Amino acid sequence: MSEIQSSGLSRRDVIKTAGVLSAGIMTFPYVMRGQTGGDNTLIRVGLIGCGGRGSGAADQTLSVPGSNVKLVAVADAFANKAEGTARNLKTKHGDKVEVTPETTFSGLDAFLKVLPLCDMVILATPPGFRPAHFAAAVAAGKHVFMEKPVSVDAEGTRRVLEAAKEADKKGLKVVVGLQRHYDEKYRETHKRVMDGAIGEIIQANVYWNGSGIWWRKPDESMTPYMAQVHNWYHFAYLSGDHICEQHVHNIDVANWFLGQTPVSAFGVGGRRVITPDQPSEIFDHFAVNLIYPSGVSVASQCRQYPGQGRVSEDFRGTKGMCEVGKITDYKGNIVWKFEGKSENPYQVEHNELHKFIRTNTAHNDAHYGATSTFTATLARYAAYTGKELKFDQVLALNDSILPASLDPTTAPPVKPNAEGGYTLPNSRDYKIVGS
């Protein structure tokens, strides 16, 4: 039994414990500050969250060309995942993995055990836990790579924004896994749009229309709470629903190209495909209009059931229009087409994070990571409630959907209905927490 199971640690306790923990940790014990180049001192990395994206991010950070880096500790809610990820990474990267049984941790409190051992941490647990983990990492003086989305509600978003300011004060480097910012095709398209190639943006469309997502049968030994953590994507308090967990990429591109966050959101959503043996409380489609201060309307659409796929963003301006990598005028003439080379942006994220650390270059994605995530959260709430909602008003709410207790022996916040499934949000009676 983990400490959290025996103590019933709360979210507030987690942050308090992290603060005390950080007081005894020397910040950057191996990574020297103030270097202007050529520094190749050891970066010790800790991994928190050993699923597919966490293990992928660890693989990429260990693959940064020429970087002196070692993975020294791993943690996951489930022991078998932590152990398996460490073993697989050791097989691929050999001496770059120095994880031992003593530095392999499990349980919902396991992240606290990783932080004292590393200089940089990868945060890749279910998104509902991200604000507490990020705040603890910053309090402990760690550089951070964290996956998107970075929160699932207003309270978590505010916590990330507060921690982001603290990271700036401490000179910490933060990269968020919204990897389009690290894709040369996106970067070059953005530059040309900012330079006026399509004129003033007047409308945009962003899409993530794909097929269904994974669902995993829980082990009978799991508590109801841990069974939901095991299937975290299917619970809004853990994933933020798929508009947050997945479509945030495209919504983030809209915010990036417009240089703004929206004023309001209004839209619809629901669940078309019900699979009784795969209970889920999230929607499988959304269609939301985001209205920006400049008056631009962005049509946001995402889907998770079979049909024609589309994952893209396009913008219309007063002079022309662009898809990522191509700009045309309204007569159909191609004004510009990307002919460069885009390296794997998942790898570029880590290459550049290591560069920022080694050259002490100020860099912090957490600010836009939080506001883009909250844009997706606002869109989710607009569909759940059937109401037009204001960005600033909802962000100010005392809205927290993660359980107050992180004790896995307690009842989860979402309980099955009489049929064994979960009741979907309904605009007739859905209320935002804190509203």
Whether residue 315 sits in one domain with residue 170 = no
The tens digit of pLDDT for each residue in 180-234 reads 999 999 999 999 999 999 999 999 999 999 998 999 999 999 999 999 999 999 9
Residue 434 lies in a domain: no
Residue 369 lies in a domain: no
Give percent of the chain with pLDDT exceeding 70: 91
Tell me how long the chain is: 435
Question: Looking at residue 5, what is its pLDDT?
Answer: 35
Whether residue 132 sits in one domain with residue 267 = no
Whether residue 207 sits in one domain with residue 176 = no
Amino acid type, 371: T
pLDDT band at 6 (very low <50, low <70, confident <90, very high): very low
pTM of the model: 0.92
Whether residue 194 sits in one domain with residue 336 = yes
On the question of a cis peptide bond just before residue 293, with omega within 30 degrees of 0, the verdict is: no
Residue 152 lies in a domain: yes
pLDDT band at 23 (very low <50, low <70, confident <90, very high): very low
Whether residue 125 sits in one domain with residue 76 = yes
Q: Average pLDDT in the 24-37 region?
A: 38
Residue 402 lies in a domain: no
Question: Looking at residue 413, what is its pLDDT?
Answer: 87
Whether residue 163 sits in one domain with residue 39 = yes
Whether residue 188 sits in one domain with residue 174 = no
Whether residue 222 sits in one domain with residue 137 = no
User: What is the total count of domains within the chain?
Assistant: 2
Residue 199 lies in a domain: yes
As a whole number, the mean pLDDT across the chain is 92
Whether residue 136 sits in one domain with residue 219 = no
CB 241 within 8 A of CB 281: no
Give percent of the chain with pLDDT exceeding 90: 87
Whether residue 240 sits in one domain with residue 162 = no
Provide the CATH number for the domain around residue 60: 3.40.50.720
Provide the CATH number for the domain around residue 246: 3.30.360.10
Give the closest residue to 132 by CA, choosing from 402, 435, 410: 402
Is the pLDDT at 289 greater than 70? The verdict is yes
Residue 239 lies in a domain: yes
pLDDT band at 323 (very low <50, low <70, confident <90, very high): very high
Q: Average pLDDT in the 40-57 region?
A: 97
Q: Name 31's Cβ contacts closer than 8 Å, sequence gap at least 6.
A: 41, 42, 43, 119, 120, 143, 357, 358
The tens digit of pLDDT for each residue in 55-103 reads 999 999 999 999 999 999 999 999 999 999 999 999 999 999 999 999 9
Residue 289 lies in a domain: yes
Whether residue 97 sits in one domain with residue 188 = no
Range of the domain at 209: 184-343+374-395
Amino acid type, 212: G
Half-sphere exposure for 124 (CA within 13 Å, toward CB): 26
CB 338 within 8 A of CB 325: yes
Is the pLDDT at 429 greater than 70? The verdict is yes
Residue 270 lies in a domain: yes
Whether residue 176 sits in one domain with residue 200 = no
pLDDT band at 10 (very low <50, low <70, confident <90, very high): low
